[in-house]
Amino acid sequence: ARRIVLAAHPRGLPTAQDFRLEEVPMPAPDEGQVLLSTLYLSLDPYMRNLMDKVGPVYAEAVGLGAPMVGGTVGRVVASRHPGFQAGELVLGNAGWQSHALSDGSDLVRLGDVEQPSLALGGLGMPGFTAYVGLLDIGRPRPGDTVVVAAASGAVGSVVGQLAKLKGARAIGIASGADKCRQVVEELGFDACLDRREPDLAARLAAVCPDGIDVYFENVGGEVFDAVLPLLNIGARMPVCGVIAHYNDEAPPAGPDRLPGAMAAILQKRIRVQGFVILDHYADRYDAFRREMGQWVAEGRIKLREDVVEGLEAAPEAFIGLLQGRNHGKLVVRVAAD
Ligand code: NDP
């Protein structure tokens, strides 16, 4: 079996040397366990936070020498668990490994699905994040203007399409002309701005003539700076992620703009709410599965994947994700189905 472990805690943007590919003996299931063969591995921004010495508050950091964690779609290849049979396709958490053991408690049967990798994307955790964050926290009303960055990515692409479905205007921000064109032409956003071109604040103001009612915060940084002055009274800001800061090693250079941001939040009565999707499975996952499954089946929500080949390609692909090189939900095809 092969696996990728954390070789060093990154300083800033991770490098290939922070990971190590290892060959290990094939694990054998004990009574009550199954052996999984990974077909698809999900690569997600939160993994960067788990690589630090002290992980985020919602999860444990990956130890040095331990396999990188991650959501996977796999096949049960051997079972000593009464609830699972060899051959079954399951959603699980095998991490960056070709094979892994599970006691079954974290596995969800996928049945006979056409595109199993979607369970890691729009029909899984990232899609659910968009659903809860936008619909429950952002609460767009018809005619509202909704802004989201990383707009062609796993979460952002669904946020904008859900906004449209609810009758709001959707404005995306992404890097590069190709992504921006696809966000408008294929995903149906009203506009998408290239964050790498100059004058983002002025261009954003031009496409938001009525201000911004919902800012779905995925990135922070310069995008947040451009958005803040355009927020309307009573705007909602679900705080989902701040990927622009995941590689920061120190606070940004001054002047300190936090007091200005707090004053704007106060004066405009902005509702800022952070959320971690893990908290919402018990209450909202069934509704999400039903509704999103239907919207995707009807073609009302389109899901785009960026699939890279082979476990050994995971580190480079993940480093690329932190720089905007992925176009759609990033997954690794670890083994042929
Ligand atoms: P994506 O598929 O959107 O990939 C990440 C994207 O972030 C990149 O493609 C890039 O898009 C953008 N990005 C990278 N660096 C920067 C930067 N410096 N400034 C602005 N944008 C940048 O990832 P996901 O959809 O999986 O995740 C999106 C966000 O949602 C992340 O912040 C993630 O941490 C968060 N998240 C939070 C969850 C929660 O429970 N709160 C659950 C899941 C995700 P581009 O170059 O096109 O701008």
Quote the pLDDT of residue 123: 98
Could you give the angle at the alpha carbon of 86 between the alpha carbons of 81 and 89, nearest 5°?
Answer: 100
Of 5, 4, 1, the residue nearest 29 (C-alpha): 1
327 lines ligand 1 (CB under 6 A): no
Burial label, 80 (beta-carbon count in 10 A; 0-12, 13-18, 19+): middle
List domains and CATH numbers for the chain.
2-121+304-333 (3.90.180.10), 125-277 (3.40.50.720)
Q: Which residues contact 24 (CB under 8 A, 6 or more apart)?
A: 1, 2, 3
**Half-sphere exposure of residue 318, counting CA atoms within 13 Å on the CB side?**
32
Q: What is the CA(112)–ligand 1 centre distance, in A?
A: 30
Q: Are 95 and 72 in contact (CB under 8 A)?
A: yes
Of 168, 201, 172, 166, the residue nearest 185 (C-alpha): 172
Q: What is the CA(10)–ligand 1 centre distance, in A?
A: 18
Q: Are 9 and 48 in contact (CB under 8 A)?
A: no
Quote the pLDDT of residue 337: 77
127 lines ligand 1 (CB under 6 A): no
Q: How far is it, in rounded angstroms, from Cα 139 to Cα 331?
A: 29
Name the strand (E) or helix (H) holding 40. strand 34-42
Q: What letter does residue 299 receive in the DSSP assignment?
A: T
Q: Which residues contact 258 (CB under 8 A, 6 or more apart)?
A: none
301 lines ligand 1 (CB under 6 A): no
User: What are the structure tokens assigned to 331, written together?
Assistant: 């997954």
Burial label, 176 (beta-carbon count in 10 A; 0-12, 13-18, 19+): middle
Quote the pLDDT of residue 99: 98
Which protein residue's CA is at the shortest distance from atom 13 of ligand 1?
324
Atom of ligand 1 nearest to the CA of 149: 48
* DSSP E strands, 134-290: 145-149, 169-174, 191-194, 212-216, 231-239, 271-274
Give the mean pLDDT per block of 10 residues along the chain (337 residues).
98 98 98 98 98 94 98 98 97 98 97 95 98 98 98 98 98 98 98 98 98 98 97 98 96 91 98 98 97 97 98 98 98 93
Strand partners, 191: 171
